[in-house]
Structures are given as structure tokens and as C-alpha cells.
Amino acid sequence: MKNILVTGSYGQLGSDISSLSKKYPELNFFFTDVDTLDISKKEDILSFCTKNNINYLINCAAYTAVDKAEEETELNNLINASAPLYLSEVSKTLNIKLIHISTDYVFDGNNFKPYVETDKTNPNSVYGKAKLKGEENSLKNPQTIIIRTSWLYSSYGKNFVKTMLNLSKTRDEISVVFDQIGTPTYSADLAQTIIAIINNNFIPGIYNFSNEGVASWYDFAKQIFEYSDISCKVYPIESKDFPTPAKRPFYSVLNKTKIKDTFNIEIPNWTDSLKVCLSKISNS
């Protein structure tokens, strides 16, 4: 029996792992969040992992308010940089395999082709810098897998898909940026991949994961409304017309060759996964 600790289990990814866990009775999951395990306290992590004989640790906990991070730097750094250090140190001491979730924001978005894992990192936001530090801290445990993902959405929690659906209830038209390019990632697909990694050969390293395909936020919004049969009109605008405190990467498409080849997995196209998610939302 593998004992698996999941931190940040109230979030999108943690919730999707929790939902999927029911299909894997051979795996023993411990789902925690700040109310049951404070990962900013190293002694609490050590006590929990020792008591429950943890074999794998999946760190889904993150400060994800990208714009607020520009002001709440201390909280952002605590959750995204310091906590991963404590998790790494404890997991190394107890010989626990660590999976840490990171982001496309570690790149500056100035690329012209999909990012590979070895491309130079250059975050241009407070959030991105803390996430990069979290990666560096996580790698202090040699048994660590880092998964960089992008544009995460789910049937759980707050995300772009739900925001668009909610806005369409009160608006006939909406403007969305078209000059930021990436790939929407269905959290349930990432959750499935993480469980597949645990159930197979755990090979440490940095990996990219998003769904297949490419889109702008404008494309994403249009597809959400089309699949939901919503008549809300979507207008494309430039990022300069929608200023935000944190600078976003203009291009953050991720190359997934490494994770597909290493773990022998197939990744769905983002449009197919969006249909699945919207169906789940409509039936909930």
C-alpha cells in the first residue's frame, strides 16, 4: 500500500485527485489543506509524514492570486517558495518521493516556439519568481518531480471557465485578450497523469504538462460559449487594453514530449477536455 499525502486538497487539482482517488483502492490518500496541515511549519509536516508513514507527497498547495501577489509578497513567498523548501527537506529526510506543481509563469513568454524543460527561466512577475524559487527548493530532494502546467481549469474552484459562464448570465457581450497564447489545461487530466506516474516508474526531473493544442484567451472564451450554446458575443482586445498589476507571459505554450515519452501517456486536445469539463459542470 502506497501512502500518499496531497497538500492543497481544496484547490482545483487537489479536488480532482480526490475525486479520482476513489478509482484506486490500492492507493491510500491523505488529503490536507491549511486547516489540517500547515505546510509553512516544518515540524508539522515532519510529524504528519512520520505518523502516517507517507511514501509520496503531492504538493498542490499554492498562492495563485497572480495580481494580488504583487502586493501580498510575503504570503506569496511563504506558500510558493518557503513551504516547498520545508516539504522538500522533510521528504528528503524521510525518503519520500515528492511531486511539486509549478507554472508556465517561470518563463518570460518571449519565446517563439513551445517551451521545453531546459529553456532558460526568466519570470517577470512576483508570483512567477516565487514559483521558480519553489522549484529550486523542491529539487533539494533528489527524488522530486516538478510538473509545470498552464491555464488550469476544473469543475471545482474558481477559474476562467466558470468566470466566463458566470459573466454570460449578466452580459450580452464580453472582451477578452487575444494576444496571450498558451494552452488550457483540464485539471482532471493532470490529476490522472500524476496518479499514473505514482502507479508506474517514478523518474525524477522537471516535466511540462498541459493539454494538446494552442489557443488565446479569446479562443478559449469563444469555445466555452460555443460548447455551452451561449449566445454571449466575444470581442478580441489587446493586453494593453486590459492592464493588470502582474505581467503575463505573451507566449507560454509548453512542449510535452518529455512527459509523454517518459511515462508513456497520451494527452487529450484542450477542446475535447473542455467538453468533458463543461458537461461535468452542467450536471453538478
Binning pLDDT at 50, 70 and 90, where does residue 180 land?
A: very high
Report all structural domains of the chain as residue ranges with CATH numbers, in order of start. 2-282 (3.40.50.720)
Binning pLDDT at 50, 70 and 90, where does residue 75 land?
A: very high
- Residue-level pLDDT at 284: 80
Q: pLDDT digits over 80-91, tens only? A: 999 999 999 999
Residue 194 · residue 207 · CB < 8 Å: no
> Can you tell me the distance from the alpha carbon of 252 to that of 150, in angstroms, rounded to the nearest whole number?
8
Q: pLDDT > 70: what percent of the chain?
A: 100
Residue from 150, 151, 167 nearest 159 by CA: 151
Please report, as a single letter, which amino acid is at residue 134. Answer: G
Q: Is 127 a catalytic residue?
A: yes
Place of cell 460559449: 225
- Residue-level pLDDT at 111: 92
Q: In sequence order, what are the residues at sequence separation of 6 or more whose Cβ sits closer than 8 angstroms to the Cβ of residue 281? A: 155, 161, 162, 165
Residue from 7, 8, 17 nearest 49 by CA: 7
CB burial of residue 22 (10 Å; 0-12, 13-18, 19+): exposed
List of long-range contacts for 116-119, beta carbons under 8 Å, 24+ apart: 116/208, 116/255, 116/257, 116/258, 117/148, 117/205, 117/206, 117/207, 117/208, 117/255, 117/258
> Can you tell me the distance from the alpha carbon of 255 to that of 244, in angstroms, rounded to the nearest whole number?
27
- Counting Cα atoms < 13 Å in the Cβ hemisphere of 173 gives 5
Residue from 73, 91, 84 nearest 132 by CA: 84
Q: How many CB atoms lie within 10 A of CB 51?
A: 9
pTM: 0.97
Question: In the structure grid, which three cell numbers stand for residue 263, read together?
Answer: 511515462
Q: Any alpha helices (H) in the chain, and if so which ranges?
A: 12-21, 42-51, 73-77, 83-93, 126-138, 160-167, 187-199, 217-227, 257-263, 270-282
Q: pLDDT > 90: what percent of the chain?
A: 98
Given 56, 127, 186, 251, the catalytic residue: 127
* Mean pLDDT along residues 104-122: 97
- Residue-level pLDDT at 47: 98
Calculate the average pLDDT of the chain. 97
Q: pLDDT digits over 225-269, tens only? A: 999 999 999 999 999 998 999 999 999 999 999 999 999 999 999
